[in-house]
Structure 1
Amino acid sequence: MDDRPAIERLRRGDRDALTQLYRRHAGTVYWNAFGLLRSRPDAEEMTADAFLTLWMRRHEVEIFGNSALPWLIVTVKNLSRNRLRSNERRRAEHLDDRDRSATDTPSAEDLAALDEAMRLVRAVIAALPEVDQEIFRLCMVDGLTYQEAAARLGLKHGSVRNRLSRVRLRLQRELGDRG
């Protein structure tokens, strides 16, 4: 079948032309992706991404002959290879993290230094005004955003941000002097 008329309509922004090309070529595009990825969900996603790329680049797409299929296959294979590289990077990072956690057992000296640092942090925090202690706990321990902490304490967002910034500076100064 000749895809040139559909490509011309696609260039003019005709979404029906994209649908027509999808119906015509999605199966072949999918199986090319699946051949590389060996994962149905990933192959489906890469197929959708190939057609999305066709839509986004519709003004610059050049087809040779009368079929868009070669362009789509090259696109889906490139997308699939990128996905494989990304998956491999994530897998390698995960293995590195596991290896690091298995071999990075802290020494007794490390644990003693950590205990001392935590004691100093608690002492500095205990010397702060009560509202600053609460801001520190909400944001740094409980993980609330400035906005959430402000709502809980009845303060303005900027006030929480500024107070926490001062607490951090004080901690740096105090721990630097003692460390």
Structure 2
Amino acid sequence: MVSDIARGETQAETALYEQFAARVYFTALSETHSKDDAEDIRAETFLRVIQALRQGKLRSADSLPSFIVGITLNVTREHLRRKYRTKS
């Protein structure tokens, strides 16, 4: 799947999304407690994951799940930082 995404195959991107979308969503939801925020984070996460895979930034396909979770947590932190900065 990783090498297929690197070659730009959209079916592989769809398969990646279908496999990991729920995990990304619920990880974001558990941190933000907001369905809208979790959906935004999921979208941004997959944009970044696919971009990183196209650029060959993942060394081992076995690391894909933890790679995605790591990006999810980074996007979530960025989102929360922005959200609380605008509230202040």
Taking structure 1 as the reference length, what is the TM-score of the superposition? 0.46
Alpha-carbon distance between aligned partners in 1 of 2:3 and 2:61, rounded to the nearest angstrom: 14
Tell me which residue corresponds to 1:69: 65
Identity among equivalent positions (%) equals 26
Larger radius of gyration: 1
Tell me the matched-pair count.
Answer: 87
Distance in 1 (CA, whole Å) between partners of 2:38 and 2:10 is 23
Letter in 2 for 1:79: V
- The CA RMSD over aligned residues, in Å, is 1.4
Cα pair 2:45 2:72 within 8 Å, conserved: yes
Could you say which residue in structure 2 is the equivalent of 1:27?
Answer: 22
Which 4+ runs in 1 deviate beyond 3 A? none
Alignment match, 1:17: 12
Stretches of structure 1 that go unaligned for 5 or more consecutive residues are 1-5, 93-179
1:88 matched to 2:87 = no
Equivalent-residue separation in structure 1 for 2:70 and 2:59 (angstroms): 12
Mapped partners of 2:18, 2:24: distance in 1: 11
Structure 2 stretches lacking a partner, 5+ long: none
| C-alpha separation in 1, matches of 2:37 and 2:66 | 20
Kept in 2, the 8 Å contact 1:63–1:71? The answer is no
* Correspondences of 1:121-160 after superposition (within 5 Å): none
Structure of greater relative contact order (alpha carbons < 8 Å, 6+ residues apart): 2
2:36 to 28, 38, 41: 41
2:52–2:58 contact (8 Å) kept in structure 1:
no
| CA pair 66-15 structure 1, distance change in 2 beyond 3 A | same
Q: Which has the higher helix share?
A: 2
